[in-house]
Structure 1
Amino acid sequence: MTADPRALPLEATLYEAARIMRDQGIGDVLVTLSGKLCGLVTDRDIVIRAVAESRDAGLTSLGEVCTAEPVTLGPDDDTDTALRLMRQEAIRRVPVVDDQNRPVGIVSIGDLVIADGTGASPLRDISEAPPNL
């Protein structure tokens, strides 16, 4: 799990999220309302739901394009649970929330590959590589 994930409020703009993604070398930002998780926006969401629709990144809020009510994990869930959810829901990232629905981390498919530790594989090599900025 990546602890302390980047999050922005629901009313933040796509521009703000895109800058964080670029500056931090990440592909997602959690979306919050009053500090509680309410959505997830990915770099792909920005391209498909905003850029391809000619939305203004400086005026479009995250709430307009994020995936609302994403599937989540709890801090005590294991990697098998995370993997099962990713397969079942066909997703690559799962936010981790506490019992108050506040984000405390995020698990990506790359995190699971690294945690597996069964040796070299192309996906493992890609997952461990530094961001391509």
Structure 2
Amino acid sequence: MPKIKSIAREQVVSVAPDASLTDAAQLMDEENVGSLVIVEEDRPRGIVTDRDIAIEVVARDQDPASLTAADVMSEDVVTVDVESGIFDVLRTMEEASVRRIPAVDSDGDLAGIVTFDDFVILLGRELKLLGDVIEAEIPPYDHT
């Protein structure tokens, strides 16, 4: 079974828990990502998403400059081992109801991240390959 490390993004955009929420949002904008992994001593401690900022801060009329990433992060961060199989990771994401999941190495240090979008891209590529196989096996259509 393919391992999650085959599709995990190794370059994870992350911040420390004490990063200001304004800085975190600006980093998300600069890096064009919808989430940041909150890291302490190379270990994932939480995740802040653009939705967290919109709901927890903007919708509740809080001042983002007075908050830190730790104030709005999802603390019960679910992780997977970078050596986990793809289907195991999908099951974990479904059970935890998450769209993104950090991958950790054997020491528990952040090694990458996998998002729902990564699986959609993988599925699209696999379906194209299947379509190419099928198309190679059928006779060409006569377009008259």
> Which structure 2 residue ranges, 5 or more long, are not aligned?
1-7, 129-144
Deviation of 1:115 after TM superposition, in Å, equals 2.0
- Root-mean-square deviation (Å): 1.4
Equivalent residue number for residue 127 of structure 2: 119
2:84 to 77, 85, 101: 77
Tell me whether 1:64 sits opposite 2:50 in the alignment.
Answer: no
SS at match of 2:80: coil
* Structure of greater Rg: 2
Deviation of 1:106 after TM superposition, in Å, equals 0.6
- Paired with 1:107 and 1:83, the residues of 2 have a C-alpha distance of 10
Equivalent residue number for residue 43 of structure 2: 36
Residue pair 1:28, 1:41 contacting (<8 A) in 2 also:
yes
- So what's the TM-score if we normalise by structure 1? 0.83
Equivalent residue number for residue 60 of structure 2: 53
Aligned-residue sequence identity (percent) comes to 28
- More helix, by proportion: 2
- Paired with 2:109 and 2:46, the residues of 1 have a C-alpha distance of 11
Deviation of 1:99 after TM superposition, in Å, equals 2.7
Residue pair 1:49, 1:65 contacting (<8 A) in 2 also:
yes
Segment drifting more, 57-66 vs 108-117: 108-117
> Which structure 1 residue ranges, 5 or more long, are not aligned?
121-133
- Paired with 2:76 and 2:108, the residues of 1 have a C-alpha distance of 11
One-letter identity of the residue aligned with 1:8: V
Deviation of 1:56 after TM superposition, in Å, equals 1.4
SS at match of 2:39: strand
In the TM superposition, structure 1's runs of 4+ consecutive aligned residues that sit over 3 Å from their partners are none
- Paired with 2:78 and 2:116, the residues of 1 have a C-alpha distance of 14
The number of residues matched between the two structures is: 120
Deviation of 1:30 after TM superposition, in Å, equals 0.4
Residue pair 1:36, 1:100 contacting (<8 A) in 2 also:
no
1:8 to 15, 40, 51: 15
Tell me whether 1:23 sits opposite 2:33 in the alignment.
Answer: no
- So what's the TM-score if we normalise by structure 2? 0.77
Deviation of 1:27 after TM superposition, in Å, equals 0.4
Equivalent residue number for residue 102 of structure 2: 95
